[in-house]
Structure 1
Amino acid sequence: MAEPQPSVLLNTGAQMPLLGLGTFRLRGPDEMHQVIDAALTAGYRAFDTAAVYRNEADLGCALRNLLPKHGLTRADIFITSKLGPRDQGSRAQEGCIRSLEQLGLDYIDLYLVHWPGTQGLKMGDERNPGNRAESWAAMEDFHTSGKFRAIGVSNYTLGHLRELLKGCRMPPAVLQVEFHPKLAQVELRALCRELGVCFQAYSSLGVGCLLSDPVVLGVAKRCGRSPAQVLLRWAVQQEVPVLPKSSQPERVAENGQIFDFHLSEEEMGRLSALDCGKKYCWDPSAVV
């Protein structure tokens, strides 16, 4: 069985693995079972889902069936899910309960507000801040009860994060955003370090676009590694947790092999120099 992967310490005192499996677009019990089996074999111990992925139930079922096979228990894994934009605000408590029920869990290790806006409202709608605050208050209650071991946010900007900190009872443990060499999020990372918030990456491969970047290919050739491994290593070498996703078991295994090599300072610098503020995913900056 694979050795446990390195982790980061959250402000709650919990340890979160640096490597997790993203499950966006994994659909159906058969595909989920196959991918989770491959991930557990490869040493993954963290799994990221969301209400809007519509696969919480499939993930929960796969883990219940597969943990005994791998000699693991619920306490050995770290599960993240997220509150959907449709439940932002007055429906937040209902959304939180639904995620617990869909996953079939007594507790979730980390629960995030998925998006700063509210489904059905325009991004400039002045009701968005109030809805975010109401969602956070509900999640704080779930944290206090032990149903959520940690709570955090996703796709928040500097402004959204500062706004949250002005009125919250407890600070977020994690901020999960798009992060890769072309979007280094320097200011956001600096604020997270200052506040003790764990900065976590999604879309580390730039939705696949960075896999063919000449600089990434050059570093990969020099290291004898795949472009994906190089991009993931660039993040974890900065102690930024990553969530690569794939429906192919062999790719899942390959993406997990990022702790047995090291990028040189020069290679890290070449990759970091690609930063140009490029977003490949949705842009939350217009959400008030």
Structure 2
Amino acid sequence: MASTIPDITLNDGNTIPQLGFGVFQIDPADTTEAVRRALDVGYRHIDTAQGYGNEAEVGQGVRTAGLAREDVYLTSKLNNNFHRPDDARTAFQASLDALRTDYLDLFLIHWPLPTRYDGDFVSTWKVLEEFKADGRARSIGVSNFQVPHLERLAAETDVVPAVNQIEAHPYMTNDEVRAYGAKNGIVTQAWSPIAQGAVLDDPTIADIAEQLGRTPAQVVLRWHIQRGDVVFPKSITPKRIEENFRLFDFELDEATMERITLLDRGEEGRTGPHPDTFDFVPA
């Protein structure tokens, strides 16, 4: 399937494909085939995490697709029980081993956990700086960091995160965090880009989709693309994998973009936990 995925240049000079394929909540038994199919369709960016339990299957999917390692952008994330520096070092190597690669294109702190580890995510970030310095992580970033968390990193560390992966969708546009990122050269990645499916039945989205002859998911994902977000929808359904890839042969005009943005419900639209209070650490 022909499509050209734009690259976004990060603050470290590396680039990231703006559209990726996410594997959150995909059962490990289904992950290899889903990744292979996504790569066959044309995706070249796969987003996983230690906490998803399917890194090994992601790596197998890449190998099954027959693509060279350098042709696939791989992202993973540090699990919440590995924030202490030595634990983070061990966990990162475990990710490389599971994926059977000697580097990651992007590695993130999954959650800031400000009420855990005496609120110390700074020492964790400094360990990620080590991974970038030795080349085992081409780029490093964070996930679910609020503006005060980012400001603390700016004050106490040397490397600005390349990306911040946050919940963002039409029901919670998360514009304060996005604006801080834009001002400071931090690219926004949107997780839960369709609000776990909640926005797909919204009358405004349905109306736009009908007018354009597109699916509601395509409309919302295109809204993300035009906002400049990196987005990585997930699915194991072959038809949906292909549909979600077809985002670059149409555009939303300014009025349509505004209609979607006005669906914002602020914090009431959040589908996941709040980063200021989320404190889950696996046993």
Same fold (TM > 0.5)? yes
Equivalent in 63, 69, 72 of residue 77 of structure 1: 72
Query: How many percent identity over aligned positions?
Result: 38
Structure 1: distance between partners of 2:150 and 2:77:
17
TM-score (norm 2): 0.94
Match of 1:2 in 2: 2
Inter-partner Cα distance in structure 2 for 1:109 and 1:287 = 27
Which position in structure 2 is the counterpart of 1:39? 38
Q: CA deviation at 1:287?
A: 5.6
Identify the residue that residue 22 of structure 1 maps to in structure 2: 22
| Matched residue, 1:285 | 276
**For the residues of structure 1 that align with 2:163 and 2:131, how far apart are their CA atoms?**
16
Q: TM-score, normalised by structure 1?
A: 0.92
1:178-197 pair list within 5 angstroms: 178-197=167-186
Q: How many Å apart are 1:33 and its aligned residue?
A: 2.6
SS at match of 2:276: helix
1:134-186 deviations in whole A, cap 9, x for unaligned? 21111110100000000000011111111111111211000000111111111
Q: In 2, Cα distance between the equivalents of 1:202 and 1:163?
A: 23
| Conserved 8 A contact 1:92-1:134 | no
Q: 1:28: Cα distance to partner?
A: 2.8
Asked whether 1:102 is paired with 2:98, we answer yes
In structure 2, the CA distance between the partners of 1:150 and 1:128, relative to structure 1 (3 Å rule), is farther
Deviates more, 1:227-236 or 1:83-92: 83-92
C-alpha contact (below 8 Å) 2:3/2:246 kept by paired residues: no
Confirm whether residue 246 of structure 1 aligns to residue 260 of structure 2: no
Is 1:259 aligned to 2:248, yes or no? Answer: yes
Confirm or deny that 1:57 pairs with 2:53: no
1-side partners of 2:115 and 2:135: how far apart? 34
SS at match of 2:208: helix
Q: C-alpha displacement at 1:128, in angstroms?
A: 4.0
Q: Distance in 1 between matches of 2:118 and 2:262?
A: 35
Q: State the one-letter code of the partner of 2:175.
A: V
Instruction: Report what 2:166 is aligned to.
Output: 177
Give, in whole Å, the separation in 1 of the partners of 2:17 and 2:172. 22
Cα separation, partners in 2 of 1:3 and 1:261, compared to 1, 3 Å: closer
Tell me what 1:129 maps to.
Answer: 119
Give 2:68's aligned amino acid.
Answer: T
Residues 1:88 and 2:83 are matched in the alignment? yes
Who is 2:13 aligned against?
13
Q: Displaced runs of 4+ in structure 1, greater than 3 A?
A: 1-4
**Alpha-carbon distance in structure 2 between the residues aligned to 1:268 and 1:282:** 27
Coordinate RMSD, CA, aligned: 1.5
Contact 2:28 2:53 in 1 (8 A): no
Please tell me whether the aligned partners of residues 219 and 230 of structure 1 are also in contact (alpha carbons under 8 angstroms): yes
Aligned residues: 276
Partner residue, 1:115: 111
- Specify every segment of 5 or more residues in structure 1 that has no aligned partner in the other structure, as ranges: 118-122
Deviations, residues 1-41 of structure 1 (Å, cap 9, x unaligned): 63441111111111101100000122234x22321222112
Q: Following the alignment from structure 2 to structure 1, what is the Cα–Cα distance between the partners of residues 201 and 118? A: 38
Distance 1:242 1:94 in 2: 29
148-157 or 18-27: bigger deviation: 18-27
Tell me, what secondary structure is at the counterpart of 2:108?
strand
**2 CA distance for matches of 1:236 and 1:219?**
16
Question: What is aligned with 1:120?
Answer: none
